[in-house]
Chains A and B, each alone.
Chain A
Amino acid sequence: MIRFRIQKRKPLPGWAKIVIPLAAIVVTLVLAAIPILIAGGHLWKSYYYLFYGALGTRFNLLETFVKASPLLLTGLAVAFAFRAKFWNIGAEGQLLAGALTATVLGVNMGGVPASLVLPIIIMAGFLAGGVWAAIPALLKTKLKVDDVVSTLLLNYVMIHIMGALLFGPLQQPGSSWPRSAAIIKAATYPLLVPRSRFHMGILIALFAVFVIWFINQKTTFGYRSKAVGVNINAAHFGGINTTAVIVWTALISGGLAGLAGVGELCAIQYRLIMDISPGYGYSGIVIAMLGNLHPVGVLFSSLFFSVIIVGAQTMTSCFLLNTR
């Protein structure tokens, strides 16, 4: 008979933090080779086009960054929340809250001086995502409602709010599709490279990496947030207001996800549609974990994800594969 003995694992050495995610990536590529071979594809060509499609031309490289920016923001959002053990599975809903707010403002701010339009939209989008995340944080701290469940369910609440508005007051006049009117010109993100989609949102996302790193490493709030995540009882014993820490952490986390929504709306779609996000919020969870919840790690893992996404599009079109 086989007997198991459960014992505590020895702490992992420092290099493991880098090697394990890389190993995960290698294993993924190996496993993905199996269906390619079964389908009779050329393995090396497939992977060549995967990476060529993402990095091989100037346009593709820029596209990879375009795709990376919402993933980076939702990844940061999740990582920042998870660090404080606020299990924010709701970045998707917070992203939509940001996009929805940007739509309402972006369509209706015709009378506002053009230079104020974008700053207002960005701040409002951040706030909307933040508030949408602060709700489950308050439920968790005040009523002990499980945050995994509440953040997840609020995603569906936001999808339905968005649907109700897109079939109602926000619907483009004269359209029978669930889509809003286009936002005004002043509400669109400036392009950094002409004739591409390389927009300001990418800089915002990179700036967010720096800000989150700074908060984590240099501020008392980052210290408190880490302490709460590591041992909430000891943090409380040490005089930290754990409720405030969790709610503020949620606000910042949701705000980052909200910024992802603003970016997708004001730089890519220019109008709200039901499928404005192909699950960026959920991808953010995987990206945050792959990046070890560290802002720089999240930067790399979001770039990796976007290489795969953009590369896969080229791969399918090069081989005329039918992805359905």
Chain B
Amino acid sequence: MPSARQPMVRMSSVTKYFLDVTANNDVNFDLYAGEICALLGENGAGKTTLMNILFGYYACDEGEIFIKGQKADLASPKDAIALGVGMIHQHFALVPSQTVLENIVIGTDTGRGPFLDMKKARRTLLDLEVQFGLQIDPDARVWTLSVGEQQKVEILKALYRDVDILVMDEPTAVLAPAETDDLFKTLKSLVAQGRAVVFISHKLNEVMDISDRVVVLRGGRVVAQRLTAETNVRELANLMVGRDLLEDIAKKPLEPGPPVLEIRNLDALNDRDLPAIKNLHLAVRQNEILGMAGISGNGQRELSEVLFGLRDPVRGSISITGQPLRFGNPSSAINLKMGRIPEDRIGTGLLMDLSVEENMILEDHASTRFQTWGLMKSKRIHRYSDDLIDAYNIATAGRDAVTKSLSGGNLQKVMLARELAGRPAVVIAAQPTRGLDVGAMEYIHQRILQERERGAGILLISEDLDEVFALSDRIVVIYEGEIVGEASGENASREQIGLWMSGVRQ
């Protein structure tokens, strides 16, 4: 390790709390000139938070930051940029309707006083483009550029500000393979000239390809540092996901029944019209929990959206208890008795500004149980909501409490109560415990197991390997929209699943 040299960045004992969550816990991180350092970890491991602290986006609660030997007091990204730190987030900070040049100049003091010297800016930009092989038309409007090109604009923007420490947050997540190759060339030429790059990722093959050194974060702590040349994907996969089980789950042995959810030849596109699901086949049987493991962004969201009726597939068919699911409208899934726990419970699942009761009856409010001639039967609705609040132990001031006043765990209980009350034949649970504390998590797990015992077939889509291992009868791994591996719940090895998740095929 190049410890003899002075690091460009030294973050020492950095701790960051978000309310009751510790996002970074006593993290030490060094970065040296001329290296590409990969920051590896699962979702929620604290990678982005740590770098946002370096970028002055968050203030750390404890710890110190030194940049080029000087103690840095970063109150905003402006301070960080002045010290040569640039960060490119997953969501670009560009003005789509403006030109490349205009985007580059924004926020800089190019020229004298209030006047811009666009000629000088253009010369500087063109010089940088030649120097780093980042050819972009300065007069092109940003919205006309591909995502790969927009990323080049972001890099140029950083270089224009004389940044020599560049942080890139999962830069390849949005790129096509050819664009990824281009990016890697650019990053290598940056460090060849003495700059330093932090590459946040959870894709092991890429980390092996591009980095000189790997720092592995898990649960907000640094768990290991390795020189890339001295490690391999197998070890990294273990370091990234290896963890003891948090809870001991007693699962009744049950013989799975006939299939209740069948997905055949499914192809679907993502929001950018690129393939997200590729010829996917899947069957979930009665009394069975099928765990779908995978790093986020590999088609899980698109798959659940197709199942929920929020996204039209390109091709393929889905049936529930033998009946075909109609696409493009959530009512088909509701009518076929699918219990739906969406990944985004706040934006998609719940009406946060309405009462708990109004959320409970959302899917059923038009049934004759709750209305006649368009008039709501309020007494029955009250009784129904009170019963569910009791049955699911929801901590709330009452059925009339506004839903957003509930804690995360209780929000998910409202979601479960609504979706499971109709005794669904199939349950699709997408990231059902993401962001929840341990108590709420265990409760949700118990509920899912109860559904299994009742006779539902459950598709559990989760990035949390512990959860997948604890609950699943069978595990499949999704990578880039395809099922790359399948194992039975008892015999699956953590290492094997970790490798599949990272795109390493045997």
Contact = CB atoms under 8 A, between A and B. Distances in A.
B363 interface: yes
Interface in B325-358: 330-331, 334, 340, 342, 347-354, 358
Contact of A223 (B331, B334, B340, B365): B365
Given A219-B374, A219-B376, A220-B366, A237 B348 contact: yes
Contacts of B362: 227, 234-235, 238-240
Nearest to B353: A230
B331 A239 contact: yes
Contact of A238 (B330, B347, B378, B405): B330
Given A3-B76, A231-B347, A231-B352, 6 more contacts: A11-B402, A218-B378, A234-B347, A234-B349, A234-B350, A240-B362
B374 A220 contact: yes
A236 B363 CA distance: 10
Nearest to B340: A237
A233 B334 contact: no
Contacts of A218: 375-376, 378
A194 B349 CA distance: 57
Contacts of B358: 223, 226-227
A320 B75 CA distance: 61
A219 B377 CA distance: 9
Interface string B234-257: 000000000000000000000000
Nearest to B310: A237
- Chain A, interface SS category: helix
B371 interface: yes
Q: Rank and list the top 10 A-B pairs by shortest CB-CB distance, nearest first.
A: A238-B362, A239-B331, A230-B353, A239-B334, A219-B374, A220-B371, A230-B351, A220-B374, A234-B351, A237-B348
Contacts, number: 67
A210 interface: no
A3 B331 contact: no
B32 interface: no
B75 A3 contact: yes
Nearest to B403: A230
B75 A234 contact: no
Contacts of A236: 310, 330
A94 to B, nearest CB: 24
Contacts of A230: 351-354
User: Which of A227, A236, A239, A240 has the most chain B CB within a 10 Å cutoff?
Assistant: A239
B479 interface: no
Interface of B: 75-76, 308, 310, 330-331, 334, 340, 342, 347-354, 358, 362-363, 365-366, 371, 374-376, 378, 402, 405
19 contacts: A11-B405, A220-B371, A224-B365, A226-B358, A227-B354, A227-B358, A230-B353, A230-B354, A231-B347, A234-B347, A234-B348, A234-B351, A236-B310, A237-B340, A237-B342, A237-B348, A239-B330, A239-B334, A241-B331
Interface of A: 3, 11, 218-221, 223-224, 226-227, 230-231, 233-241
B371 A226 contact: no
Contacts of A220: 365-366, 371, 374-376
B422 to A, nearest CB: 12
A230 B348 CA distance: 12
Contacts of B378: 218
User: Which of A3, A224, A231 has the most chain B CB within a 10 Å cutoff?
Assistant: A231
A235 B349 CA distance: 9
B376 A227 contact: no
A237 B374 CA distance: 21
Contacts of B348: 233-234, 237
Nearest to A226: B354
A208 B405 CA distance: 33
A221 B365 CA distance: 10
Contacts of A227: 351, 354, 358, 362
A23 to B, nearest CB: 24
A241 B365 CA distance: 13
Contacts of B330: 236-239
Contacts of B376: 218-220, 223
User: Which of B349, B362, B363 has the most chain A CB within a 10 Å cutoff?
Assistant: B362
Contacts of B342: 237
